Amino acid sequence: TQCLANKFSVAGPKKTFTTACSASAQAIGHANRAIQRGEIDLAIVGGADSIVGEILMLGFCLLGVMSQHNDSPQQAGKPFDRKRDGFVIGEGAAILILESKSHAKARAARPFATICGYGESENAFRITDLPEDGAGAIAAMRSALQDSRLTGCDIGAINTHGTGTEPNDRIEAQAIAQVIGNEATVTANKANFGHLIAAAGAIECATSVMMIKDCLVPPIANFEQSDCTPLNYRKTTAPLDSSAHVLSNSFGFGGTNASLVIGPCDEADR
């Protein structure tokens, strides 16, 4: 963050979130609220992580969350599929520019999408597991919908946390069904990018923005058949209504849950 501040002469408030897999989604949510409150006009926000090393990889293996499909790594990640057995670690980064409508207009910027709502919660449970009732995930999603003044009917697709571990996918699917309904259209990105941990929320938010921009829902890579709560799990690319919103979930190690609602811009802003 200091390098970015120096490079672009950013002198406003600076915050770093260390809540594992939900960190960059939290950063986006809090930056957006600061813009809504009029505290700032623009934020450089996102996440980066570099965790492919012997000690960290050993830790994830001991937790039992890594896929064992080592002979076919491109097919290893299988979010929500009945043959899932964990995730593949990835490394990367994603940065978004958030700004107020007036600031964007002043510099003739053409926004791709709007952050409409944000919700977060704490599981108060075990370090790496969701509680079986999915209460924390449900609370984060409902809070994001309330913040955006929308209902489940306004959500055209959910970009899930979708780790590809047995309990997390199962519990997230149950939570989505309770908040959005069993007709919810579901996709997941971690089979494409790997699990980027602190950067996961940012790259999945960026993917959700492109879903809004292109009016498309990408498929879940390697998905064939689910044993989770019945939802509309995408095996192929699907159209997304131009007025629909996307809900992006990030549920972190340590129990912090973050959900973002991303929607289309007004026609006048495009």
Tell me if residue 195 is catalytic: yes
**Choosing from 69, 116, 195, 228, which is the catalytic residue?**
195
**Choosing from 116, 161, 205, 228, which is the catalytic residue?**
161
Tell me if residue 69 is catalytic: no
The encoded tokens of residue 127 equal 């370090």
- The length of the chain in residues reads 270
Tell me if residue 61 is catalytic: no
| C-alpha span between 28 and 43 (Å, rounded) | 9
**Choosing from 21, 116, 205, 228, which is the catalytic residue?**
21
- Active-site positions read 21, 161, 195
